[in-house]
């Protein structure tokens, strides 16, 4: 029987903690799925407060995790990212040294990172925390666009529900695809989700951070369907192309081309969510020229096609299908 321990610390997130309990803690033997020896451990056994005002009673200390095959790190509050309990770090290091699986959910990645076992490896966490993780742990290659990353025997996952994707990924490796798919069906979730975190990020680049360039960036946003070369933009800013490109990168953190491409994708996202326009029309309005170019750029950045994105996030028909009392006024 495989053994699993979930480490919870004060301020833990109940939903993410519950994902590990759901994936590894339930008896599914009636469906032909082997049980895990499931344990919940804490640095200080007893009442462990969550981040939303209630506590759980944890009977086992960290010593109960000394021999487990899988160690799961539940999220911890931001205040603990820079000062993780050394007792927990020792448990993480020991598990890694003996070849056990390490699986973190959301900000639980900061625990694994603080233990030093991710140095030189690729990892992820919630997209909102990725920049801070990269700053705090520069030896880790932090990927903010994926749902989870496996680096050897370490699996780090993105925020919230992505923890379930990571758990199912580990279950596929431990139990095989057939049993992992059976567990997914029991949980009424997809065995594997396509795409990554990029589809959920609202706006990773600022629209305006420079007063001197604000008129140009505003004009760019109003003319995304136009040919916006650096020469043309520089002329509007009354600068040389070289000076404009250098100033743009310094003020907005991206080249004019990269910033423009991202704004075009953001506009395409809005049109896919809020309208029923065809892909050719959306491509033209966003400056991609053709539906094929839109598909290529969208899939490369978002990890899924425009059609898949629309089916997942579209709200264009909500007003029409809502009851009269709830319809959005014209």
Query: Which distant-in-sequence residues (6+ apart) come within 8 Å of 244 by Cβ?
Result: 230, 233, 234, 237, 256
pLDDT of residue 15: 95
Q: What does the pLDDT look like over 194-222, one tens digit per residue?
A: 555 655 555 444 444 455 788 899 899 99
Classify the C-alpha dihedral 204-164-59-109 as positive or negative: negative
Query: What is the secondary structure of 144-163 as a DSSP string?
Result: TT-SEEEETTEEEE-STTHH
Stretch among 12-16, 196-200, 242-246 having the lowest mean pLDDT = 196-200
CATH 3.40.50.880 domain position(s) in the chain: 3-197
Query: Which distant-in-sequence residues (6+ apart) come within 8 Å of 264 by Cβ?
Result: 224, 286, 287, 288, 297
User: Which CATH number does 3-197 carry?
Assistant: 3.40.50.880
Cβ–Cβ contacts within 10 Å for residue 182, how many?
18
Query: Distance between CA atoms of 181 and 177, rounded to whole angstroms?
Result: 6
Closest residue by Cα to residue 104 from 124, 84, 79: 124
Query: Which distant-in-sequence residues (6+ apart) come within 8 Å of 266 by Cβ?
Result: 203
Output 318 or 237, whichever has higher pLDDT.
237
> Which class is 214-313 in CATH?
mainly alpha
Q: For the chain, what is the mean pLDDT?
A: 88
CATH 1.10.10.60 domain position(s) in the chain: 214-313
Token pair for residue 229?
A: 């070369």
Q: What does the pLDDT look like over 93-145, one tens digit per residue?
A: 999 999 999 999 999 999 999 999 999 999 999 999 999 999 999 999 999 88
pLDDT of residue 36: 96
pTM confidence score: 0.66
H or E stretch including 282? helix 279-286
Output 1 or 56, whichever has higher pLDDT.
56
Query: Distance between CA atoms of 166 and 183, rounded to whole angstroms?
Result: 13
Phi, psi of 263 (to 5 degrees): -65, -35
pLDDT of residue 181: 85
Cβ–Cβ contacts within 10 Å for residue 146, how many?
20
């Amino acid at each position: 029987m495989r053994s699993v321990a979930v480490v919870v610390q004060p301020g833990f997130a109940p939903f993410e903690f519950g994902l590990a309990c759901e994936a590894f803690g339930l008896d599914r033997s009636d469906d032909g799925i082997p049980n895990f020896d499931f344990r919940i451990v804490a640095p200080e056994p007893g009442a462990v407060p969550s981040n939303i005002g209630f506590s759980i009673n944890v009977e086992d200390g960290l010593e109960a995790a000394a021999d487990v095959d899988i160690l799961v790190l539940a999220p911890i509050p931001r205040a603990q990212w820079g000062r993780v309990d050394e007792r927990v770090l020792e448990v993480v290091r020991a598990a890694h040294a003996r070849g056990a699986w390490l699986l973190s959910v959301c900000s639980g990645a900061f625990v694994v990172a603080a233990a030093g076992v991710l140095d030189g490896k690729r990892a992820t966490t919630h997209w909102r925390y990725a920049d801070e993780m990269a700053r705090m742990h520069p030896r880790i290659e932090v990927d903010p666009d994926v749902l989870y990353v496996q680096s050897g025997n370490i699996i780090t996952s993105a925020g919230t529900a992505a923890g379930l994707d990571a758990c199912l990924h580990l279950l596929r490796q431990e139990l095989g695809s057939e049993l992992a798919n059976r567990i997914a069906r029991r949980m009424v979730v997809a065995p594997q989700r396509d795409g990554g975190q990029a589809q959920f990020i609202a706006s990773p680049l600022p629209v305006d951070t420079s007063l001197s360039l604000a008129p140009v960036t505003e004009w760019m946003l109003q003319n995304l369907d136009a040919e916006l070369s650096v020469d043309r933009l520089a002329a509007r800013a009354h600068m040389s192309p070289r000076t404009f490109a250098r100033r743009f990168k310094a003020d907005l953190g991206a080249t004019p081309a990269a910033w423009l491409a991202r704004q075009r994708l953001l506009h395409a996202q809005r049109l896919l969510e809020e309208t029923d326009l065809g892909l050719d029309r959306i491509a033209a309005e966003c400056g991609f020229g053709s539906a094929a170019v839109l598909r290529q750029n969208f899939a490369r950045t978002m990890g899924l096609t425009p059609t898949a994105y629309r089916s997942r996030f579209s709200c264009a028909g909500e007003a029409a299908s809502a009851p009269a009392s709830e319809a959005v006024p014209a």
